[in-house]
Structure 1
């Protein structure tokens, strides 16, 4: 809540004029662990004196950020692809020498990623500019995305040049950037003038022509210079005829293979411009006017621009309503054609003293900071414009050493991490964007990673708010399993083992509540949560009492593959494993009985006792199940020794119960019978004794008959 001074709640939480102190109340606020939501409510000042909870008191939910929706979500997810690609490049760079990232191949790759950002922003700007139904109107205006577009494209121009062109003149690139993003003069104005037979009679003609020359728009300039062939003054016609090829042939750096050739061509071209100036000076004073204005002054301004006269350019820009950006771009095209990037910063600094940027326009302030090389200010203004912009600026500036990578003593954060985490906090306002939030947090140093851990830990905690029925539905739809799978993969990816175990442990308990015991057991084992595994096994066994033998068998058989896997991997066994083995084997026993495989069922029953995997509380259940097998037709499914083993278990139950240990043996049977005492349970066991007695008698008869 740092920096938050007040919250405007509508309608008001406290009526105007209320005295909370006098009423023994106070205003409280608490943050949601799930997102950036703030719960605001009125509570008693002293809870001990007034412990009651007044359910009529309203609770306001407020958020520090507007939750991203519609086009904003698309923008966030699309640009994440580029961010992830850049992080992969940096991950590779950490495996090489420190200067590996500065190789031409990698700088080219970084430049391409920067251009990808620009193109994605452009697409979103175009999308937001389209007329849409009111319900689909963009969360951020098209002008907002246009601002991001101009800022990021300028960053690419100034700080991500083509490898090998870092020291090349920058004027043409700046002018191209200006013409793309700040179109002047307007197309409509040009269309209007071109429709006139005598366009120079229109007051907009000379400003329009001057602006096209200033911007390097040679086609438009040549068209309107050509129209002056019909001007009544022969001097105008001659000068326009001479001026046109100069504008058309002005040397451009991109048209030359080496800068030396460009410099030579520029000098020759300037000689021709000087010759034109001499020719203009020969025009007599009284021939410099037509019926509308002083055409000579207008042409003189244009020639002054070509000559690179700074005072003329500044004055013309001021008259045309141009700002500092246009002056700076023109400077590199006409005044200093060899202007380098590092030299630009000094020129811009001087220029901004004369023509300052608009302090109320964040876009203009970002431009000014980038132009002048003050990247810390650029990040500051960018964060106010959009936290997305400052985060991705800082992310690209850091490995290029454009900003300091030192850790701040107070915040313990680097410049880069400060802005990336601020953007991640913005994303955290929408808990459904948790995967993207984590990508940004885990890209930071330890503080960011710890914040990501806290976000990750709370992803499965949301499941605890659901009922068992809701969780069961979520499991069937794949929601819970999908989330846990993603969490598991993220933890592996970022090597957050303790977080992974905690998340899987919590997820396993949620799956248990949803009765997906197979996955619950699997996640518990993966988390090495043996105590949690024990709870799941107990719950599976509890299903016998709650849901009956048939449902219990289905649940227990679902965990059978996991039991086999544990055997194959020779995992450490404990009491919980033995109980799980019993649950599975008892389920197999019930399955055999249902299929009519009575001989196999009898053998499995005896094996369970002999292998000592059955808890003593389940002996009574097994013995009661044996009645059906003891009385099965005329067949003898047990040998005499096996029947004797059953009798021994039965007698131990009676003896130990008489000694006061009945709870240890009878608890399951008592719960099944819903009996309140041990006597009803023992009475039921007497049936087992009778069945065994009859079985021994039948066995004796068989023995006598066989002899």
Structure 2
């Protein structure tokens, strides 16, 4: 299928292609598949392969970029239609999957066919509502004008005839189909109009109107018995006594027209129909005896019209076909009335043969997609019907194909090249259309995930590209709202991934969400996403970011940030295996924040315990040893209280000695780099000098411990 795109302003004027090429330009494009967008732009016809720059001196430096979309974004009404029918689609797929899993051999059992019909009826109801709404709505400027009331009417009639032909009600799948077809015809293609009947009924002598006989034959043909009888009875005032007599007998015949619903068995119905037609044939003998001179009134030949009417009642196929064409009807009217007047035993299985014979003489309208679709459905050609349905509306083709599969109307084998079934190809085409509105990503994924491995892979790409927007806002409330919006989107994506078992995609999205939250310094939520994704290196990077907050802004900012991540530690207490190093890093950040919080709040005793425990449990990274040793100095300098035992002080001394030895051997940055950064020092050696005061404090502290004779005072 080719598409013409008009560029405004044009790249070049009409008939100026040669000049355009001489300027050193050609046309290129790039796709944005997540929104069905296309960017067109001029590019160099010849370019230096090393720099990508044009070699032609005539190539203009500035070029326009044209952005377009091959599917317009759905309007609010179309969006509502899409979302409503997606619920039915989900229910239909759930039913099909259930049957496939549990009772595949019963896919076309009556109970399931009834359920399929009910769901197809739900589709039809929604399309009908859209038709009514669109017909009453005034189109707005810049609105997609493809989906008008007429468009939905076409879909409504098409899906209705599909249901009539292929999804009959329970118990009538193998009974004569004439009444159902006539009901469909009268529902969707109303002829003659009510206004015509009202105008004729208001006349004292309606037969004098030029439309009288056409109207009478049409209502009889359409099975509108009450209207037929009313106007036949009006002929009792006609000047011709012969016509009066014949019309009276026609009334008697039509009043007793056998209809299948009035009989308990087909045998009774067929017997009654045969006898009824015998009465019509008897009336034919009387009609033929009318003298030629009395067959015409002052307006036209009434005898010919009555003959046509009686020919239809007798069941003459050639008369029915000729009359339908003369009245402006088409092949649909012939076929849909065939089972009422010509062959009352007409079955669905016989329709393709009858339709082929009728359309040989009265073909379908090739310029009407709707008429072509109806023809293919009557002819029993589902593949051709789907192709035409796709041209009408990609929605219609996708959902028709979806219904056809459990009915056995389509081959369910996958194509060797595309790895897709016919049904999947149409559903994926519809999913591609949905991408014109990124807000419909959930529905796009639902449809794609019903299309086997290929559809799942395509759905993965959609999920990975759902926008995770988190903008820094001026006000706190706005920032919190953005937080919530991101969390809701990720929650929706996670739920979708769980539903369709797309675990690798879910983890990747959680990683991306964590990265965005880290940029906004929402470390608590970022860590929860890392844990959900089991992204342990990511967890480590977040903890490093939090610890860097201490280095850059001090303990106050650091403590408030750690308060958000502390709850995440509860679910990680027993984390085994190689990921323990990252959990250890998180535990250190939380414990170190608790240390500062207790120090500021006056719980100095517990702060001292926190400080020592970080060394005892080997919780503190070696790069932070210098910081912790420096933090211990105020506790050692307190003259009134011994916050550490002699053993605690010995531990501090051992750590200090290890730092000194490693620094002397050139590894000072591994131990004192963080301390140097927090105190704005030039390097590890200067940081080590700052710790000299700690050595003096420890010596004095040991002396006080000996004098007091206690290992700890609390």
Task: Quickly name the TM-score band, shorter chain normalised.
Answer: over 0.9
The equivalent of 1:91 in structure 2 is: 97
Residue aligned with 2:137, SS: coil
- Aligned counterparts of 1:216 and 1:33: Cα–Cα separation in 2: 53
Instruction: Please report how far the alpha carbon of residue 301 of structure 1 lies from its aligned counterpart in structure 2 after TM superposition.
Output: 1.3
The equivalent of 1:329 in structure 2 is: 336
Residue aligned with 1:559, SS: helix
- Aligned counterparts of 2:69 and 2:285: Cα–Cα separation in 1: 68
The equivalent of 1:228 in structure 2 is: 235
Aligned partner (choices 544, 553, 557) of residue 551 of structure 1: 557
Instruction: Please report how far the alpha carbon of residue 587 of structure 1 lies from its aligned counterpart in structure 2 after TM superposition.
Output: 1.9
Alignment of 1:319-398 (within 5 A): 319-398=326-405
Contact 2:470-2:486 within 8 A present in 1 as well: no
Contact 1:82-1:113 within 8 A present in 2 as well: yes
User: Which shows bigger deviation, 357-366 or 627-636?
Assistant: 627-636
1:62 aligns with 2:63: no
The equivalent of 2:657 in structure 1 is: 651
Residue aligned with 1:164, SS: coil
Instruction: Please report how far the alpha carbon of residue 322 of structure 1 lies from its aligned counterpart in structure 2 after TM superposition.
Output: 0.5
Rate the CA distance shift 1:703–1:14 in 2: closer, same or farther, 3 A: farther
Alignment of 1:496-515 (within 5 A): 496-515=502-521
1:36 aligns with 2:36: yes
Aligned partner (choices 76, 86, 98) of residue 80 of structure 1: 86
Residue aligned with 1:134, SS: coil
Provide the alpha-carbon RMSD of the alignment.
2.7
Rate the CA distance shift 1:626–1:120 in 2: closer, same or farther, 3 A: same
- Aligned counterparts of 2:137 and 2:522: Cα–Cα separation in 1: 48
Instruction: Please report how far the alpha carbon of residue 281 of structure 1 lies from its aligned counterpart in structure 2 after TM superposition.
Output: 2.4
The equivalent of 1:187 in structure 2 is: 194
Contact 1:199-1:205 within 8 A present in 2 as well: yes
- Aligned counterparts of 1:229 and 1:167: Cα–Cα separation in 2: 42
Instruction: Please report how far the alpha carbon of residue 415 of structure 1 lies from its aligned counterpart in structure 2 after TM superposition.
Output: 1.1
Contact 1:553-1:587 within 8 A present in 2 as well: yes
Instruction: Please report how far the alpha carbon of residue 603 of structure 1 lies from its aligned counterpart in structure 2 after TM superposition.
Output: 0.6
Q: Unaligned 5+ residue runs, structure 2?
A: 55-59
Aligned partner (choices 6, 9, 12) of residue 8 of structure 1: 6
- Aligned counterparts of 1:192 and 1:648: Cα–Cα separation in 2: 112
- Aligned counterparts of 2:528 and 2:470: Cα–Cα separation in 1: 22
Contact 1:70-1:138 within 8 A present in 2 as well: no
User: Which shows bigger deviation, 3-12 or 191-200?
Assistant: 3-12
The equivalent of 1:590 in structure 2 is: 596
Query: Normalized against structure 2, the TM-score is what?
Result: 0.92
Residue aligned with 2:182, SS: helix
Contact 2:660-2:688 within 8 A present in 1 as well: yes
- Aligned counterparts of 1:125 and 1:407: Cα–Cα separation in 2: 35
Contact 2:414-2:421 within 8 A present in 1 as well: yes
- Aligned counterparts of 1:695 and 1:55: Cα–Cα separation in 2: 77
Contact 2:470-2:482 within 8 A present in 1 as well: no
- Aligned counterparts of 1:138 and 1:172: Cα–Cα separation in 2: 38
Alignment of 1:569-580 (within 5 A): 570=576, 573-580=579-586
1:146 aligns with 2:153: yes
Contact 1:540-1:552 within 8 A present in 2 as well: yes
Contact 1:469-1:514 within 8 A present in 2 as well: no
Instruction: Please report how far the alpha carbon of residue 59 of structure 1 lies from its aligned counterpart in structure 2 after TM superposition.
Output: 2.1
- Aligned counterparts of 2:504 and 2:652: Cα–Cα separation in 1: 47
1:561 aligns with 2:567: yes
- Aligned counterparts of 2:349 and 2:604: Cα–Cα separation in 1: 91
Alignment of 1:169-568 (within 5 A): 169-459=176-466, 462-463=467-468, 473=479, 476-568=482-574
Contact 1:475-1:516 within 8 A present in 2 as well: no
Rate the CA distance shift 1:607–1:203 in 2: closer, same or farther, 3 A: same
User: Which shows bigger deviation, 135-144 or 510-519?
Assistant: 135-144
- Aligned counterparts of 2:90 and 2:442: Cα–Cα separation in 1: 12
Residue aligned with 2:101, SS: coil
Rate the CA distance shift 1:480–1:466 in 2: closer, same or farther, 3 A: closer
- Aligned counterparts of 1:695 and 1:119: Cα–Cα separation in 2: 87
Residue aligned with 1:411, SS: coil
- Aligned counterparts of 1:193 and 1:661: Cα–Cα separation in 2: 109
- Aligned counterparts of 1:210 and 1:644: Cα–Cα separation in 2: 115
- Aligned counterparts of 1:633 and 1:354: Cα–Cα separation in 2: 115
CA deviation vs aligned residue, 1:679-705 (integer Å, no higher than 9, x gap): 55345434544554554455455449x
Instruction: Please report how far the alpha carbon of residue 428 of structure 1 lies from its aligned counterpart in structure 2 after TM superposition.
Output: 1.7
Contact 1:468-1:513 within 8 A present in 2 as well: no
Residue aligned with 1:38, SS: strand
Contact 1:474-1:480 within 8 A present in 2 as well: no
CA deviation vs aligned residue, 1:486-520 (integer Å, no higher than 9, x gap): 22222222222222222222222223223332332
Query: Normalized against structure 1, the TM-score is what?
Result: 0.93
- Aligned counterparts of 2:79 and 2:639: Cα–Cα separation in 1: 71
Contact 1:71-1:138 within 8 A present in 2 as well: no
CA deviation vs aligned residue, 1:80-99 (integer Å, no higher than 9, x gap): 11110011011111223432
Residue aligned with 1:29, SS: strand
Contact 1:457-1:499 within 8 A present in 2 as well: yes
Aligned partner (choices 670, 673, 694) of residue 676 of structure 2: 670
Tell me the number of residue pairs that the alignment of Structure 1 and Structure 2 aligns.
701
- Aligned counterparts of 1:468 and 1:52: Cα–Cα separation in 2: 38
Contact 1:623-1:688 within 8 A present in 2 as well: yes
Contact 1:475-1:481 within 8 A present in 2 as well: no
User: Which shows bigger deviation, 436-445 or 545-554?
Assistant: 545-554
CA deviation vs aligned residue, 1:546-597 (integer Å, no higher than 9, x gap): 4432232233232323222122465654321211111121122222223322
The equivalent of 1:606 in structure 2 is: 612
Contact 2:34-2:438 within 8 A present in 1 as well: yes
Instruction: Please report how far the alpha carbon of residue 55 of structure 1 lies from its aligned counterpart in structure 2 after TM superposition.
Output: 8.8
The equivalent of 2:47 in structure 1 is: 46
- Aligned counterparts of 1:591 and 1:137: Cα–Cα separation in 2: 60
Q: Unaligned 5+ residue runs, structure 1?
A: none
Rate the CA distance shift 1:430–1:699 in 2: closer, same or farther, 3 A: same
The equivalent of 1:130 in structure 2 is: 136
- Aligned counterparts of 2:526 and 2:628: Cα–Cα separation in 1: 27
The equivalent of 1:71 in structure 2 is: 77
Contact 1:128-1:138 within 8 A present in 2 as well: no
CA deviation vs aligned residue, 1:327-386 (integer Å, no higher than 9, x gap): 111111101111111101111011111111111110111000001101111001001111
CA deviation vs aligned residue, 1:379-415 (integer Å, no higher than 9, x gap): 0100111111111111111121111112223433211
